[in-house]
Amino acid sequence: MNTIFFTADYHQTMSRNRYLAGALIRDGFHVIKGVPTKNDTGSIWFHGLSLNEKHPISPGIIDHLRQFEGRIAFFMNDDHEFFHWSKIDRQLTEKAVGFYKNHWTDKSFPADSAIMDKIGFVNPVLSPLSCYPGNDISKRKQRIFFIGKLTGNSISDIIRNQRFEIVSKLKASGLPFAGGLIQTRDFRIPDELITDPLKQTDFHNELSSSSIVLAPWGFCPLTYRFWEGLANRCLVVAPDFSNYRFAFHNLVPNVHYVSIRPDLTDLLDVCEYYLMNPDKAQAIADNGYNWFSEHASFRGISLNYHISDIIYDSWKNLELQKVNRSGFRFSARALYCRLKKRW
């Protein structure tokens, strides 16, 4: 049986991958949080990179990674578009058997063809979401809903930030819109675009009672808002991400969600059309909800089998040895892993 060690240079990467660890435990793997010892030569070490472009791997752990005689895989799971290839020690890049994140684009691929063979996925749905069908579209508030923070690394990002553009356009359009941008210390947002943050229960009530939910890009297209909209049987409107690769191959634009142009030139027309045609909005919302329920929702313990099988298959160089999934012992340990704040 494989023993898999998990470490991370960024607490949120480790926290979000708690559910990936839970799936591995459920499926019979021995998962340990912490740095392996010199005696763990037959093990696999998953190390999560930070978003620090200068130091994606902390200096204190680099020597341990170099000296480890087992297999090493690096992962990211924080929606960032780029994998910091040039900042990773070349010896470790060559030594690693896998590089995993929740999505890939042509821009994020390395030039080295040898590394291309090591690319795989981690869970795109970052943490558990319960399915809540709610009311039909016709019985909800006929409005467009989005609330969130700006994402980016500098003030200049505000100019091309989709969240900023979407809220600006909708506020000026006269269409029924609820929400706005949450003020943070990183950006100065115009007062007319600001909204107060909501408690989780209030946020869920606002989202699930809205007919249309917007899922603008954050650090990448696969934002949590997208999955929340599907899980609550809303009509999800999201900028096109057909050029992005992630673990699901059967999520179809304009069947399970409505795709708009990345430059947002059709945003207002699309929103107005589906506000005026709730029956067509309902058909897509139902498709999206059913797809999420079957393929992407968690099963109370961790990632469902559909997600985890796709993820495991993408780890071509790890050669994981799967065992019987039916044991209660594994399920109980996975549940403990998911619920424990720091597993």
- At residue 156, the pLDDT reads 46
Tell me which H or E stretch contains 305. helix 305-314
187 or 191, higher pLDDT:
191
CATH class of 3-127+300-339: alpha beta
pLDDT in tens, 138-149: 999 999 999 998
- At residue 159, the pLDDT reads 45
**pLDDT averaged over the chain?**
84
Q: pTM of the predicted model, to two decimals? A: 0.86
9 or 227, higher pLDDT:
227
- The residue-averaged pLDDT of 158-164 equals 71
How many angstroms separate the CA atoms of 76 and 99, rounded? 8
Could you tell me which CATH number the domain at 137-296 has? 3.40.50.2000
| Annotated domain spans of the chain | 3-127+300-339, 137-296
Contacts of residue 105, Cβ cutoff 8 Å, sequence gap at least 6: 81, 243, 244, 245
Q: Say which residue the tokens 């049986």 belong to.
A: 1
Residue 155's pLDDT band, with cuts at 50, 70 and 90, is very low
pLDDT at 119 over 70: yes
Helix 224-231 vs helix 278-291: angle between axes, to the nearest 10 degrees? 110
pLDDT at 251 over 90: no
- The residue-averaged pLDDT of 263-290 equals 97
Residue 12's pLDDT band, with cuts at 50, 70 and 90, is confident
- At residue 28, the pLDDT reads 80
- At residue 158, the pLDDT reads 47
- At residue 142, the pLDDT reads 96
Supply 180's token pair: 């706005």
Mean pLDDT check: name the lowest of 45-59, 81-95, 249-263, 320-334. 320-334
- In 3D, which of 199, 205, 188 has the Cα closest to residue 145? 205
- The residue-averaged pLDDT of 73-92 equals 78
Side-chain-facing half-sphere of 26: CA atoms under 13 Å = 23
Q: Please tell me whether residue 72 adopts helix, strand or coil conformation.
A: strand
- The residue-averaged pLDDT of 121-143 equals 90
Q: State which of 103-107, 176-180, 299-303, 331-335 shows the largest mean pLDDT.
A: 176-180
191 or 221, higher pLDDT:
191
Domains 3-127+300-339 and 137-296 in one fold: yes
Q: Is the separation of the CB atoms in 6 and 17 below 8 Å?
A: yes
Contacts of residue 52, Cβ cutoff 8 Å, sequence gap at least 6: 9, 10
Q: Please tell me whether residue 148 adopts helix, strand or coil conformation.
A: strand
In the chain, which ranges are E strands? Answer: 3-8, 30-33, 44-48, 71-75, 98-101, 119-121, 141-149, 177-182, 210-214, 235-239, 258-260
